[in-house]
């Protein structure tokens, strides 16, 4: 088999091949109604067999109502004989809404191809396909080569056909604030199922990905097709299951409503839509996504995430130098490596009604600026981090008084506040320059190592009065503006690390993860609730990018009481942080925390960089366990929230081990990999008798084989 990723498999057909899969596509019909279709998406075939999947004489059962080809295309347009979900809608001069494309050329490089099509009315459409590990990345470039402006409706990055199977089931996540990434799995309904965000961000409500299987996949077995969009603004993903049986998934930026103006000579590039086909159940799909995130997305994937302390739940808005120094001392004593000051350090920000936009230390709270605090943090051996919310402004702020026109608004309409704040328009160059100026200034002045970049409200009255015809482009340009500011900051300050936050996990996706190092997964820090959130998160995103804190008990949000070890073991499944009020932790709790932090650090590379197996259970509801394997080590984190709720199995069967190798526990017990996978490991935590909320971490080392 060839090592080149894009192979020519016929006169006008190509294959994007990964190690285990092939995606074959090409021109089905040339001429005035050129159709670029997907011929195959399945296991990798020998190179010489790839051409066999190209149908030379496509099935055609034409009637006056039906064209069987209309879901096979890589980018079904609105135009001609097509009635499925259009991936591309264009309105030309004079109200013409039929896109009519003719194939022009294929531009091929080793791992990338662009198929160029043109509409005689002046639109150039580039369909791009690239291979990145097991993932096929696709995107679209549009250029208006005509004499008149055009308006774009839906501009998806591409449509994927899920191969014919007896059944179709989807898996995805949905949620709400403090309840992100809740897993949903159901039969895909006949019709059109749309997952979308209209908030201006990725959103808590849904996350831009879907997995589809034939209804027979399990965690360990079965073929799974996933589609994900790498974009952090509003988005839309539609899975259409036609009565005839076929299923296609189209996804792209934007949502229903806004339309985009493309002037003569202008271009528009979509974000990538990603396709992944895996064998080995949802577990294998997740591991392939994690692998993709590590090798093609995250800026610092192989760096160990520091154990951080964040003051938010300890102090809320009551932030001042003395209190922060006190927390810093206690955090350092536990082994914390990065100290992050959360909301309340700047301007007049003593509550959530004022101050956003005024990014200088509050003179009453920090009379000496932040130097004293961060000097102490460094003397204590920790790095320094700061919370910021650069896309927002409170009307009660100097910034808003000076620049009321910088926010999203329509003249003469209300400016609805949410959490008392308005959204700054990052489509504007002056807003971006302002943001880069003060953010970069803070990094330089205080030698900051870390920003927690927050975004705490959805868009309303999303107008851009100066932009005229281009105003709706705001939905794209705001996100691009945020990307640009993040990229500039990283370029200027290569040591700076950034956490993405949006009221917890409201902005998690492969677009933001290209320029941030981890994500604040949820504002819900209740360990039991968190388990379900973390499970959904783990479907696409790796543990190193999943920030998880241990906070107080009873939990400030849910009032649930959970033992410290359980809280730690849940947070240790990701990038561990501490967010409790350490001034109220007892000496015993501090001692236990110190040893758990040390235990985490000892296995950190295994958890953060390892291969994840969701071993068993319904996290947070029944006994459950997750496993990470990396090099010669295996870590199992096991949980049992309710002693008598349901009889758990006594043993957990491990996964992905070398069957003939020997694995040794800390106590010196040894088992063959096959025994651990087939018979399992006995877990005291899972015994039926015992208190609620038992948890444990088992570490095994491969000693031979």
Catalytic residues: 454, 523
Q: How far is the CB of 298 from ligand GLA (least distance, A)?
A: 21
Give min distance, CB of 62 to ligand GLA, in A. 55
Q: Binding-site residue total for ligand GLA (CB under 6 A)?
A: 11
Nearer to ligand GLA, 38 or 207 (CB): 207
Torsion sign (Cα): 49, 54, 57, 61: positive
Q: Is residue 669 a contact partner of residue 701, using CB atoms and an 8 Å limit?
A: no
Should residue 175 be labelled a site residue for ligand GLA when binding is judged by CB under 6 A?
no
| Cα–Cα distance, 529 to 526 (Å, whole number) | 5
What DSSP string describes 20-89? SEEEEEEEEE-GGG-EEEEEEEEE---GGGGGGGS-SS-----BTTB-GGGGSBSS-BSSSS--S--SEE
With CB under 6 A as the contact rule, which of the stretches 22-30, 248-256, 497-505, 633-641 interacts with ligand GLA?
A: 497-505
DSSP state of 296: I
Pairing of β 651-652 and β 681-682: antiparallel
Q: Which residue has the tokens 């959103």?
A: 203
Q: CB–CB of 119/100 below 8 Å?
A: yes
**Contacts of ligand GLA in 300-329 (CB under 6 A):** 312
Instruction: Convert residues 512-541 into a mask of x (bound to ligand GLA by CB under 6 A) and - (unbound).
Output: --------x--x------------------
Nearer CB in complex with ligand GLA: 351/682:
351
> In this chain, which of 200, 233, 503, 577 binds ligand GLA, going by CB under 6 A?
503
Q: Nearest approach, Cβ of 392 to ligand GLA (angstroms)? A: 10
Nearest distance, CB of residue 194 and ligand GLA, angstroms: 27
Of residues 150 and 519, the one with the C-beta less far from ligand GLA: 519
Encode burial over 328-359: b for 16+ CB neighbours within 10 A, e otherwise: bebbbebbbbbbbbbbbbbbbbeebbbbbbbb
Binding part of the chain for ligand GLA, among 400-408, 498-506, 586-594, 599-607 by CB under 6 A, reads 498-506
Q: Which two tokens stand for residue 259?
A: 């339309």
Treating both helix axes as pointing N-terminal to C-terminal, what angle do 321-334 and 587-609 enclose, rounded to 10 degrees?
70
Instruction: Using CB under 6 A, pick the residue from 18, 203, 456, 524 that binds ligand GLA.
Output: 456
Comparing CB distances to ligand GLA, the nearer of 186 and 418 is 418
The answer to whether residue 342 forms part of the interface with ligand GLA (CB under 6 A) is: yes
Residue 501 interacts with ligand GLA (CB under 6 A): yes or no: yes
Spatial neighbors of 368 by CB under 8 A, at least 6 apart, are 321
In sequence order, which residues have a C-beta less than 8 Å from that of residue 14 and are 6 or more positions away?
Answer: 6, 7, 8, 24, 25, 26, 106, 108, 113, 129
List 119, 156, 391, 454, residue binding ligand GLA (CB under 6 A): 454
Cβ-proximal residues to 302 (8 Å cutoff; 6+ apart), any chain: 294, 609
β 383-388/450-453 pair status: parallel
Give min distance, CB of 310 to ligand GLA, in A. 7
> Taking CB under 6 A as the criterion, which residues in 343-402 touch ligand GLA?
343, 387
Tell me how far, at minimum, the Cβ of 177 lies from ligand GLA, in Å. 8
Residue whose beta carbon is closest to ligand GLA: 343
Beta bridge partners of 418: 421
- Closest to ligand GLA by CB, 312 vs 628, is 312
Peptide bond into 554 cis (omega under 30): yes
Q: Measure the CA–CA gap between 615 and 467, rounded to whole angstroms.
A: 52
Q: Which of 275, 504, 577, 619 forms a contact with ligand GLA (CB under 6 A)?
A: 504
Quick one: which segment of 98-106, 150-158, 252-260, 500-508 binds ligand GLA (CB under 6 A)? 500-508
> Residues in the site for ligand GLA, rule: CB under 6 A?
312, 342-343, 387, 454, 456, 501, 503-504, 520, 523
């Amino acid at each position: 088999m060839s090592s080149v990723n894009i192979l020519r498999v016929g006169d006008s057909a190509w294959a994007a091949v990964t190690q285990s899969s092939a995606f074959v596509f090409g021109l089905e019909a040339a001429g005035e109604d050129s159709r670029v279709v997907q011929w195959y998406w399945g296991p990798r075939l020998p190179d010489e067999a790839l051409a066999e999947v190209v149908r030379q004489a496509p099935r055609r059962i034409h009637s006056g109502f039906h064209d069987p080809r209309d879901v096979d295309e890589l980018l079904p347009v609105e135009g001609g004989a097509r009635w499925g979900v259009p991936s591309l809608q264009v309105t030309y001069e004079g109200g013409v809404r039929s896109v009519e494309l003719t194939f022009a050329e294929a531009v091929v490089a080793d791992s990338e191809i662009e198929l160029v099509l043109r509409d005689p009315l002046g639109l150039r459409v580039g369909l791009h396909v690239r291979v990145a590990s097991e993932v096929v990345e696709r995107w679209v470039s549009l250029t208006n080569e005509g004499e008149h402006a055009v308006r774009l409706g839906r501009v998806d990055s591409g449509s994927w056909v899920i191969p014919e199977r007896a059944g179709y089931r989807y898996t995805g996540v949905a949620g709400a604030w403090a309840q992100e990434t809740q897993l949903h799995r159901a039969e895909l309904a006949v019709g059109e199922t749309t997952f979308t965000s209209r908030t201006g961000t990725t959103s808590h409500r849904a996350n831009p990905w879907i997995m589809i299987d034939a209804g027979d996949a399990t965690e360990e077995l079965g073929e799974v097709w996933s589609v994900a969009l790498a974009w952090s603004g509003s988005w839309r993903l539609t899975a259409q299951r036609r009565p005839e049986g076929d299923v296609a998934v189209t996804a792209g930026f934007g949502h229903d409503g806004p339309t985009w103006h493309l002037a003569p000579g202008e271009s528009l590039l979509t974000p990538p839509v990603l396709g992944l086909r895996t064998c080995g159940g949802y577990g294998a799909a997740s591991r392939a996504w994690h692998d993709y995130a590590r090798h093609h997305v995250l800026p610092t994937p192989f760096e160990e995430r520091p154990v951080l302390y964040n003051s938010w739940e300890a102090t809320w808005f009551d932030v001042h130098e003395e209190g922060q120094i006190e927390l810093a001392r206690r955090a350092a004593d536990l082994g914390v490596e990065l100290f992050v000051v959360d909301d309340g350090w700047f301007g007049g920000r003593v509550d959530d009604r004022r101050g956003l936009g005024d990014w200088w230390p509050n003179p009453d709270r920090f009379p000496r600026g932040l130097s004293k605090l961060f000097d102490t943090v460094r003397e204590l051996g920790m790095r320094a981090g700061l919370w910021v919310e650069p896309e927002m402004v409170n009307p009660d702020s100097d910034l808003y008084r000076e620049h009321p026109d910088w926010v999203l608004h329509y003249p003469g309409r209300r400016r609805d506040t949410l959490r008392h704040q308005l959204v700054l328009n990052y489509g504007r160059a002056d807003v971006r320059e302002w943001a880069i100026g003060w953010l970069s200034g803070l990094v330089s002045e205080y030698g900051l190592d870390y920003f927690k970049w927050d975004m705490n409200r959805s868009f309303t009255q999303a107008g851009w009065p100066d932009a005229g015809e281009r105003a709706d482009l705001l939905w794209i340009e705001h996100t691009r503006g945020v990307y640009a500011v993040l990229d500039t900051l990283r370029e200027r300050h290569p040591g700076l690390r950034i956490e993405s936050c949006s009221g917890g996990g409201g902005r998690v996706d492969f677009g933001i993860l290209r320029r941030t190092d981890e994500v604040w997964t949820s504002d819900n820090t209740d360990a039991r609730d968190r388990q379900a959130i973390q499970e959904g998160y783990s479907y696409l995103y790796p543990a190193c990018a999943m920030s998880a804190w241990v906070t107080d008990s009873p939990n400030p949000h849910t009032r649930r009481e959970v033992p410290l070890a359980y809280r730690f073991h849940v947070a240790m499944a990701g990038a561990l942080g501490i967010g409790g009020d350490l001034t109220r932790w007892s000496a015993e709790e501090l001692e236990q925390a110190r040893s758990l932090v040390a235990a985490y650090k000892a296995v950190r590379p295994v958890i953060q960089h390892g291969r994840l197996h969701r071993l068993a259970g319904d996290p947070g509801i029944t006994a459950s366990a997750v496993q990470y394997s990396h090099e010669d080590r295996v870590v199992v984190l096991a949980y049992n929230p309710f002693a008598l709720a349901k009889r758990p199995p006594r043993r957990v069967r491990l996964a992905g081990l070398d069957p003939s190798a020997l694995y040794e526990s800390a106590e010196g017990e040894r088992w063959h990999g096959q025994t651990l996978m087939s018979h399992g490991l006995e877990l005291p935590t899972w015994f039926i008798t015992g208190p609620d909320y038992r948890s444990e971490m088992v570490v095994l080392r491969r000693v031979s084989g």
